[in-house]
Amino acid sequence: MNIKYQLRVVVISMVLFCAVKVQGQTIDSLPEKVAYSEVEYRPIRPKVLIVPAFFIAYGFSAPYIKPLKKLDDDTNFELREDHPGFGFHADDYLRYVPIAAVYALDLAGVKSKHKFVDRTAMLLLSSAIMGASTTITKNMTHRMRPNGLNDQSFPSGHTATAFMAAEFMHQEYKDQSPWYSVMGYSVALTTATLRLYNSAHWLSDVVAGAGYGILSTKISYWVYPLIKNKLFHHKSNQTVMVPFHQDGHTGLTLISKL
């Protein structure tokens, strides 16, 4: 199978996924002012879990299903054959672009869905879920990287971070314009593609990484309202949740005015 055809399949799949994410939305001009929404619990819809669950299942099953294993091997072989000296590591930074874009847009006056404290808390929760799940999986599977560097190939952490960030941007700006979702997922797809070109991962690694990232953010946006309601139920509005990062540790601090 030709590498161009394989990559075309990946690109089309991701683009179709973006189309599913933004279906039913209209591309209108942005309103001048948008009020922040309050965080409220909504039962998670099982259908929104289908795509990330499929991506993760694909990644786990690829080494044991001959056609999928061959696709991994052929993709890596042809990339190395066509681009033997490739070494562009923008993926180390691209994965964070959608997150930076959310805060930059909000600062520029294009309001995100949630206020700073709530969206930051949900981002931190997404990061914690994604980081824990990918680390545990890497340590359980011990899949060797294509470049032989180590056995931490599955799933792709860079890709998981990028798609977590893209879903974060989608959640915060999907009601503004579908183009924000398209932009975030395009950056995530570019990150995943660079991981393949840099021989850091197999195709199934990045597909699974995308699933881990998307699922982590969806879970965060589902669980956070429950956590917030539990912590602040019957409490005054004088209590706020403030994120912090110090000495390599990230978390949340509760500040209450007595």
Q: What percent of the chain lies above the pLDDT cut of 70? A: 76
User: For position 211, what pLDDT does the model report?
Assistant: 98
Reply yes or no on whether the pLDDT at 214 is more than 60. yes
Q: How far is Cα 84 from Cα 21, in angstroms, rounded to an integer?
A: 36
Confidence of residue 127 (pLDDT cuts 50, 70, 90): very high
User: For position 23, what pLDDT does the model report?
Assistant: 40
**pLDDT tens digits along 36-92:** 888 887 888 889 999 999 999 999 999 999 999 999 999 999 998 887 777 778 999
User: For position 249, what pLDDT does the model report?
Assistant: 52
Average pLDDT over residues 97-115: 96
pTM of the model: 0.81
Which residues does 107 contact at the CB level (< 8 Å), separation at least 6?
none
User: For position 228, what pLDDT does the model report?
Assistant: 87
Reply yes or no on whether the pLDDT at 255 is more than 90. no
User: Do 37 and 223 meet the contact criterion of CB atoms below 8 Å apart?
Assistant: no
Tokens of 39: 């965080």
User: Do 10 and 185 meet the contact criterion of CB atoms below 8 Å apart?
Assistant: no
112/258: higher pLDDT: 112
User: For position 31, what pLDDT does the model report?
Assistant: 43
User: For position 258, what pLDDT does the model report?
Assistant: 44
**pLDDT tens digits along 3-51:** 555 555 554 455 445 444 444 443 344 444 457 888 887 888 889 999 9
User: For position 235, what pLDDT does the model report?
Assistant: 52
Beta bridge partners of 249: 246
User: Do 137 and 155 meet the contact criterion of CB atoms below 8 Å apart?
Assistant: yes
User: For position 240, what pLDDT does the model report?
Assistant: 52
Q: Which residue's entry shows tokens 């030709």?
A: 2
Evaluate the CA torsion angle 22, 25, 28, 30 in order and state its sign: negative
